[in-house]
Structure 1
Amino acid sequence: MLALRTRFQHFRALSSGTTAAPQIDNSSDFLSRVPHRKHPGIIRMNMARLPQEAQDAINVLLKKSAIRQLEEHVIRLNNYLWSRKRPCEDRDLREKATELEQKFKENTPFNSDLNLYQNDEKLKSRVLSTLRKNIYHWQPLSYTEQFGLVYLAARFDGGFAAVSRVLQEIYQRVPEFKPQTLMDFGSGTGSVSWAAHSIWGNNLKEYVCVDSSASMNTLSELVLRGGSEKGKMHITGIHFRQFLPASPKVQFDLVVSAYALNELPNYAEREKTIQTLWRKTGGFLVLVENGTCEGHQLLMEARDIILKRGDKEVLDHRPACVFAPCAHQLKCPKLAESSQKPCNFVQQYQPLRFSWNQPIHWEKFSYLVFSRGPVGENDSHWPRVVAPVLRRTRHVHCNTCCSDGKLHHDIITARRHGKDFYRCARKCDWGDRLPAMLSSSDTPDKNEDDEN
């Protein structure tokens, strides 16, 4: 009994570590019209499925290619892309070289060979040798015809699932938003166009797919044509470009960049590209990256560029607002932690039908959505569930990122938080939002302590 009491007090300490407790937000009175299992905070997709036309086209293209050991190539590419890091900046390399040079000089024994480091060439050689062994050697990907097919087999389905999940949130939370134009930066094999078309259908009239690789643009068009050059385009209104539109006045209702920021060679290029993408945004800007520390860092870098550094060329004066996943525009609390875990989410999907594939896969990704001006102000403060929900007897553990810019861990019970909020919390999962607002008190209930 004492052990149970101690364990409960431990969870109580975790849940009351913040100064505010969540309570049900009844401002919109939505619970009188929908069941708890369908409350507006639930935005996840049960299963992402590729359109049959895309699956058939990919099978045709891969059969024509007859690539040997495709499974091995796919596994190797997925592992490489997941472990990929940002390129090192010249400034960081110079600082590291200076530190190593000072360290080598200080660690040289006084009575050793006095001429050991008097020769600058010897010192320089050792510093360069150490740097090569300890820094990440970033290299741009070369999208040849064969590599493009391997990339198609490895990443089309997972990329489609992640982008579909993010676009589904926009569709659900802002039903009045019906984009007619879309720009996809780093379009690759074209999974973004398929995902957007599966959600908004023929409402989208124009797609501009921008990719610096001509072979990838050709491959993307072949998928749209069913795997044949003479086939009919499954999605009409698509235009392929190798460079971003030059005119600063051209805007698109929806701008997407999925798994493309890490293809840029340095911070200066990323900053320039992100500012250009925001300049082209008329409604929403969607950024998606791997659900790793590097992917999260790339998104937080983009967040700072858009929110804090602004744009010198301001043509649209509507402010930038973080639409998702954050419930605030403060510094990401995940970066404030000593471990700096990434803010990521998962989406279940059916992969391409290969003999080595399991029937169900999970895509882990990080994302960031900006809107032109505030959108959905009534529920923009709802906390985001940033970890799997732990459902226990008569209580639920929820880890959320809240509007106060802090991470909260709350133990939600019907007695303390009310039946409606408790039932909503039980139906939530990783990536959903709690229909809640923060209250100013967090007073434990003695009767609840005794009951637990």
Structure 2
Amino acid sequence: MSELPAPLRAAIARELEGVGRKGLAERAGATSATYRAGGTSAAAIRSAEDALAYALTRLPATYAACVAVFAEAARMAPGFAPKRLLDAGSGTAAASWAAAGQWELEALTWLDASAPFLDMAGRLAEDGPLPQADRLRADLTGAGPWPRADLVVASYALAEIAEARQADVVRSLWAATEGLLALVEPGTPAGFGRILAARSALIAHGAEVLAPCPHARDCPLASPDWCHFSIRLPRSREHRMAKGAELPFEDEKFAYLIAARPGIADADRGARVLAHPRAGKPGIELKLCGPQGLESRFVARREKQAHAKARRLGWGDAL
């Protein structure tokens, strides 16, 4: 399971000191209801208390998804060593923490329209390993241009932008990208739709798709199917109380795209496992997206070496 770094857990605990748990749970519930109804951070996050409720309930899942995405980026581009990060729609800076766990960053820019989010991100990072961040309070749909960076990430940000403006936002983020651009969205059909539209726009502007796609052709998935992945993360006691949950873990579903400038990646693009492998006595069945499109591959138990490798594969892995 993907757990928050110790300094970040300690910072959240410090922010929770003296805060009533009942009121926090009510704020978390109201925030979730606003987002589910299609509201934006401007409507959901109006105070430091709102930002804290969000950090407690949503930061861990965003962090876990970004950890998975950045690990795949590092696997696909092992020679890539970004020093500058632009965290676009940064919120409480979960993506920045995930990136700092994967690479040694030297400069950060947090771009967000929410003052409570930027303030909370700063307080949470005070005693942590993140470099001092430049805070840029601006709307992603603004004119830009945005600060250029080796690594640009927009996690759970496109969902707050009107569909008609999303392509322009993606293009402006790509213009700021000197190495890799990572986009992360909820693992819903709508989230995948935003990723798919961004993929088309980026390919049209010369981007190389690193992951999860093993090719740059049209996506072979057809509705009601959609491409998404899952990562499990632990819930703290406070996390469970704020969400009214009982299980000590949750599974975050996410969709993502990693796009690169030419020459950044040097790893082979193997087929991607699109669902939990189905194991039975005869063998293991894999649902794959490969260089030639969708395929179903059966690995028989009698094929001992191949079967041993297939047993280690999980949803989202690449062959």
Give the one of 42, 46, 70 matched to 1:144.
46
Give the one of 141, 155, 160 matched to 1:258.
155
The alpha carbon displacement at 1:62 in A equals 2.5
Equivalent residue of 2:22, what SS? coil
Deviation readout 1:53-80 (Å, 9 max, x if unpaired): 2112112223344363433543554465
Q: Does 1:58 align with 2:12?
A: yes
Change in 2 beyond 3 A, CA 1:64/1:217: farther
2:228 aligned partner: 344
Equivalent residue of 1:144, what SS? coil
Q: What are the ranges of 5 or more consecutive residues in structure 2 without an aligned counterpart?
A: none
Give the one of 104, 110, 124 matched to 1:209.
110
Opposite residue 218 of structure 2, the aligned amino acid is K
What is the TM-score normalised by the length of structure 1? Answer: 0.64
RMSD: 2.4
**CA distance in structure 2 between the partners assigned to 1:375 and 1:179 by the alignment:** 11
Opposite residue 330 of structure 1, the aligned amino acid is R
**CA distance in structure 2 between the partners assigned to 1:383 and 1:372 by the alignment:** 21
Equivalent residue of 1:68, what SS? helix
Conservation of the 8 A alpha-carbon contact between 1:140 and 1:265? no
Change in 2 beyond 3 A, CA 1:345/1:156: same
1:218 aligned partner: 119
Give the one of 405, 413, 422 matched to 2:300.
413
Conservation of the 8 A alpha-carbon contact between 1:78 and 1:154? no
Conservation of the 8 A alpha-carbon contact between 2:284 and 2:301? no
What is the total number of aligned residue pairs between the two structures?
310
Change in 2 beyond 3 A, CA 1:432/1:344: same
2:254 aligned partner: 365
Conservation of the 8 A alpha-carbon contact between 1:384 and 1:401? yes
Q: Which has the larger radius of gyration?
A: 1
Deviation readout 1:407-440 (Å, 9 max, x if unpaired): 212222255xx54333211211100012xxxxxx
The alpha carbon displacement at 1:374 in A equals 4.9
Conservation of the 8 A alpha-carbon contact between 1:141 and 1:263? no
Give the one of 175, 182, 185 matched to 2:85.
182
Deviation readout 1:169-228 (Å, 9 max, x if unpaired): 12233222111000000000111111111222xx21001010011121011111112xxx
The alpha carbon displacement at 1:300 in A equals 0.7
Structure possessing the higher relative contact order (Cα contacts under 8 Å, 6 or more residues apart):
1
What's the % identity of the aligned pairs? 29
**1:75-224, aligned counterparts within 5 Å?**
75=29, 77-78=31-32, 81=35, 83=36, 141-142=42-43, 143-145=45-47, 146-200=49-103, 203-224=104-125
1:427 aligned partner: 312
Conservation of the 8 A alpha-carbon contact between 2:87 and 2:111? yes
**CA distance in structure 1 between the partners assigned to 2:40 and 2:60 by the alignment:** 25
Conservation of the 8 A alpha-carbon contact between 2:191 and 2:255? yes
